[in-house]
Structure 1
Amino acid sequence: MSANEAFRPGEVVPASGIYACDCPQTHHWSTDVKGHRFPPLPHGCDGSTWTLKDPAHPAD
């Protein structure tokens, strides 16, 4: 998975972590779990994709 790879709502989450939408105004964040599907973008969001901002850390 590349650092700037973008994912559309409904696609399978490749890695757990915090994702941001690509809205040009304010960012909306989503915590997503690997293997689940990305949620729809928030109502009123002008974006179209989610991008990983902070990967989840493995449990010790």
Structure 2
Amino acid sequence: MSLTEAVRAVLDQLVPVLDARTDLVLRSLVPEDLKPIRSALSELGRADEFTNFSKGDDE
């Protein structure tokens, strides 16, 4: 997938805002609530290793 410069500019502005919001939400959770979230994110990260999405391939 390729992105236009305009889309990249929007993402450059949006991603830090979304990251900050995610950090705020996660900091509000107690450790017991974070454990299944971290586990799910870890599984998604492993699944990503079997795709081409993070490499930017079009196919």
Band of TM-score, shorter chain: under 0.3
- Give the strand-richer structure, 1 or 2: 1
Name the structure where helix makes up a greater proportion of residues: 2
Greater relative contact order structure (CA < 8 Å, 6+ sep) = 2
TM-score, normalised via structure 1 length = 0.20
Q: How high is the TM-score relative to the length of structure 2?
A: 0.21
